[in-house]
Amino acid sequence: MALDYAKMPEHALAMLFTAAVRDIRKDELRKVDDENPCERIRDLPLHVSRELALRLWLIAGTQKEVERLFYGYEDTGETAAEGRKQREYECSRPMPMRRARSAISSWAWGALLTDNDDWWLEIAYWRTRLDAIEAARPILKGLKRRKVTLTHESVEKVSTKILVTFRSTLERAAEIEDAENQRRLTRFIASDRCRIQRHLKQFNLTVTDLERATGLSHDTNLAH
């Protein structure tokens, strides 16, 4: 389900906003080269992309086992090639937001199948961080640089007006993402319900369990 940003306390919301500002500003202040000015990256900030790619890389061994059990193939051939692409993201270019969300969706798939509570906590953190970055960007466009610096430096200086806008943007983004996840899951189950039931049984799960869990993607894995 979508995170309930409507009930998030104002102080926590302000902390989330300033953290997103730091992520965005750190990327915008990064020099592209010696001649060109700073460049705005519209996908994930590069340092955030590297953090996420590294985390996905570190858990890929566990994910490979999940793939073998559920999908019936090993991390070889095409999958291995995609794995190399994933590792390239760690040090080269920013990951597109859509691709990042798909990778996290597959991470959630692995968490469901392996009943890993620690992963669910990490997944919630990453989803919130990505939501915040997306929601903060349009707000920053309307702020003068001095105002951005103030919100970057102090949680207490984030205005109520900004928080109201930030909260409503987060709520809309979460609703859209949740609806998209539900559509992916519906298509996935409709594609081969019997096979899915058979494999879920290995994990003592049913399709109903799967339908209750959102944030899952049918067409990605951690190496995709």
CA proximity to 109, closest of 181, 193, 171: 181
**29-69 pLDDT, tens digit each:** 554 444 444 444 567 888 898 888 888 877 776 666 655 55
pLDDT at 220 over 50: no
How many whole angstroms separate alpha carbon 130 and alpha carbon 117?
A: 20
Could you list the residue range(s) of the whole structural domain that residue 100 is in?
8-33+42-212
pLDDT at 190 over 90: no
In a domain, 222, yes or no: no
In a domain, 86, yes or no: yes
Residues 24 and 136 sit within 8 Å (Cβ to Cβ): yes
In a domain, 93, yes or no: yes
In a domain, 1, yes or no: no
141, 105, 54, 62: CA torsion to nearest 10? 170
pLDDT at 126 over 90: yes
Residue 49's SS3 state is: helix
Q: CA triplet 174, 178, 182: central angle to 5 degrees?
A: 175
Of 81 and 1, which is predicted with more confidence?
A: 81
Based on the structure, what is the number of domains in the chain? 1
In a domain, 3, yes or no: no
Residues 111 and 120 sit within 8 Å (Cβ to Cβ): yes
pLDDT at 138 over 70: yes
In a domain, 99, yes or no: yes
Residues 124 and 111 sit within 8 Å (Cβ to Cβ): no
Q: Which amino acid is at 100?
A: A
How many whole angstroms separate alpha carbon 195 and alpha carbon 146?
A: 57
Round the average pLDDT of the chain to a whole number and report it. 73
In a domain, 174, yes or no: yes
